[in-house]
Structure 1
Amino acid sequence: MKILTVENLVQKFSLKVLTGENQLQQKIKQSRSHRPGLEFVGHFDFFPTERVQILGRKEVNYLHKLSIEERQMRIGNIVKYHPPCFIVTAGDEGLTYLRKSCIEEGIPLLCTNTPRTTSEFITELDAYMVKELAPEIAVHGVCINVFGMGILLRGKSGVGKSEIAHTLIGRGHKLVADDLVVLKKLSPRTILGTHDGKTKEFLALRSVGLLNVVRVYGIKAFQEETRIALDIELTKWQKNSLNNELDYEPEFTEYMGVPIPHIEIQLQPGRDVAGLIEAAANNWLLKQQGYNAAEEFMKRLETDSNW
């Protein structure tokens, strides 16, 4: 899991640092922010102290209306729990009292610079923190986006994963990662595939060398991340080793406890593997819409047998 700090938020969202310039290395451990409400009126039973605290216009207006003594008490009751930071989305005017409390407790106080509603900012912030703090693993393979869905290509070294990815890029699909694919678990049902930063945009082809697909084919050839929908294993051709597809039972590969549909494609000279991968992607998309070709075919056989 990646270490996420307050400074990362400042850089990602171009936040203005009002106080706590020396505390920006504080770690953020929770992937959801919190907008204090009940806490301002004294209810702390379920206060998520390790979350980033967001103060929107409603919260700031409420504090402005309090007496100096009451405001100081309300703020003091919250800052004593030392949350990672406060982010104000309603401008930085009239926050002298909040600056003072944050300075005393060593808590960074930040402010948004770009115009957006508090709800919009929270949505963007939480999405970013979920990705950054998600459990992750690295696997050997290639990740490519085909028809808008993420496909993980795996296989032994030298089997031809990168070459097949290159063919798919030539057909208009997008490279996500080559050689080392970082998988992030965003939810019990969602795995996100991305690169490790070092290999971003690069595709290694035997006998040719390293290609920067963006420089060679344009920005349309690359995508930062994609949700993994299919796990495809590329293997050498073995005669009579594949079963009849009508008897095919769905298989899955688990990554961090998340099952991903798995298929095997055997390689043979002259076989259009890129085309098979496109077919597999389209077939998966149809199944998500409730259509199954094998089921329809079996129904036709049953209908014919009833005549």
Structure 2
Amino acid sequence: MSTFSRPIIENILSLPGLDADAIKQSANLILDATHPRLCGRFDLCFMPQIAVLDLAAEQMITRLSQRSADEVLANAYDDGCRAILATADNSLGFYEQLKSSCQKYGIWSGRSSAIPPHVQDQLRDAQVKQTVIHGVMMDVFGVGVLVTGESGLGKSELALELLSRGHVLVADDAPLISRTTRNTLEAICPPVLQDFLEIRGLGLLNIAKMYGQTKIRHQKRLDLNLHLVKATKSVLANIDRIITQQDKLETLGLSVPKLAIPVAPGRNLSVIVEAAVRNFRLQRSGYDPIEDIGQRQLQSQGQGLQ
């Protein structure tokens, strides 16, 4: 099953008025997020994986003989269609006939009283570019923070410390980064890794069971990249004490701010991460500390000349 299958299916099952048979059969529904067209109108020329059947499509199918209608569904399956959503515009009698034919060809079918636009957006959002970035994804003060760095620098240990300070784990080790249709980067925890954090010496920890479900979320927008680096002399010499130009993490054609965090004995990384996130939120709201201190210096010089 594709990584995105379960969230997509959950969106479908949340539709209002979905019939009980459709919910029961959803366990057999498997979707592929790499399909070139995930969700859309029932289209014989370019069949989506999740086809929304409007009144025009119903009228087209009802004009066909039963044999021809069956051939349409067989061809739809061959073209990658795995689910058909009927709407309130479709007659109940037509839907019952459609459901019987869909079962014959292994296509899931459901009928909803309404398919809200935001659900259609959520379905389309799953059809995105995606990549895996080695690191730990956290929700810190509501900001999506991806902690990256060489193996052995303590990324997972830092995540554990942040958890103890009230923050939330999204994904350990290998978060999936996807570009949504809204041109944002989204970090998603693969199902097999959900709830778990690996700590050297302790092994796998089930964070949901140890700290509660409130300390876990499986998806979060990526806002900030904090990159851990060993605090060698050369690294420290090349890090600006006053950062005037922001580095960027670039992936999938988009970018987010990136900060290098030196790792050395005595540096409290969890407190540093919290400070970095608070500062990021201030800057995002329009505050610039460099500009602020520059204005103070100008004011001080002006007062000295008086």
- Say whether residues 1:152 and 2:146 are aligned partners: yes
Residue in 2 that maps onto 1:54: 52
* Amino acid in structure 2 at the alignment position of 1:246: I
The answer (yes or no) to whether the contact 1:185–1:192 under 8 Å persists in 2 is yes
- Say whether residues 1:166 and 2:165 are aligned partners: no
Q: CA offset at residue 165 of structure 1?
A: 0.7
Superposition map of 1:110-121 within 5 A: 110-112=109-111, 117-119=114-116
- Which of the numbers 239, 244, 251 marks the counterpart of 1:255? 251
* Amino acid in structure 1 at the alignment position of 2:274: E
- Which of the numbers 80, 84, 87 marks the counterpart of 1:86? 84
For this pair of structures, how many residues does the alignment match? 284
The answer (yes or no) to whether the contact 2:40–2:48 under 8 Å persists in 1 is no
Normalising by structure 2, we get a TM-score of 0.74
Q: Flag the 1:271–1:198 CA change in 2: closer, same or farther, 3 A.
A: same
Q: Which deviates more from structure 2 when the two are superposed, residues 91-100 or residues 245-254?
A: 91-100
Residue in 1 that maps onto 2:279: 283
RMSD: 4.2
The answer (yes or no) to whether the contact 1:189–1:259 under 8 Å persists in 2 is no
Residue in 1 that maps onto 2:196: 202
* Amino acid in structure 1 at the alignment position of 2:109: L
Q: CA offset at residue 136 of structure 1?
A: 1.7
Residue in 1 that maps onto 2:122: 127
- Say whether residues 1:136 and 2:136 are aligned partners: no
User: Could you say what secondary structure the match of 1:278 adopts?
Assistant: helix
* Amino acid in structure 1 at the alignment position of 2:132: A
CA distance in 2, matches of 1:233, 1:289: 23
Gaps of 5+ in 2: none
Residue in 1 that maps onto 2:98: 99
CA distance in 2, matches of 1:98, 1:224: 38
Q: Which deviates more from structure 2 when the two are superposed, residues 172-181 or residues 237-246?
A: 237-246
User: Could you say what secondary structure the match of 2:242 adopts?
Assistant: helix
The answer (yes or no) to whether the contact 1:139–1:180 under 8 Å persists in 2 is yes
The answer (yes or no) to whether the contact 2:177–2:188 under 8 Å persists in 1 is yes
Q: CA offset at residue 266 of structure 1?
A: 0.6
**CA offsets 1:143-193 (integer angstroms, 9 cap, x no match):** 111011111111111111111111100111011111222212214741111
Superposition map of 1:38-77 within 5 A: 49-50=47-48, 52-55=50-53, 59=55, 72=63
- Which of the numbers 40, 46, 57 marks the counterpart of 1:34? 40
User: Could you say what secondary structure the match of 1:140 adopts?
Assistant: coil
* Amino acid in structure 2 at the alignment position of 1:254: E
User: Could you say what secondary structure the match of 2:198 adopts?
Assistant: strand
Residue in 2 that maps onto 1:272: 268
Superposition map of 1:206-245 within 5 A: 206-239=200-233, 240-245=236-241
Gaps of 5+ in 1: none
* Amino acid in structure 1 at the alignment position of 2:289: A
Q: CA offset at residue 2 of structure 1?
A: 4.0
Q: CA offset at residue 207 of structure 1?
A: 2.5
* Amino acid in structure 2 at the alignment position of 1:118: I
Q: CA offset at residue 248 of structure 1?
A: 2.9
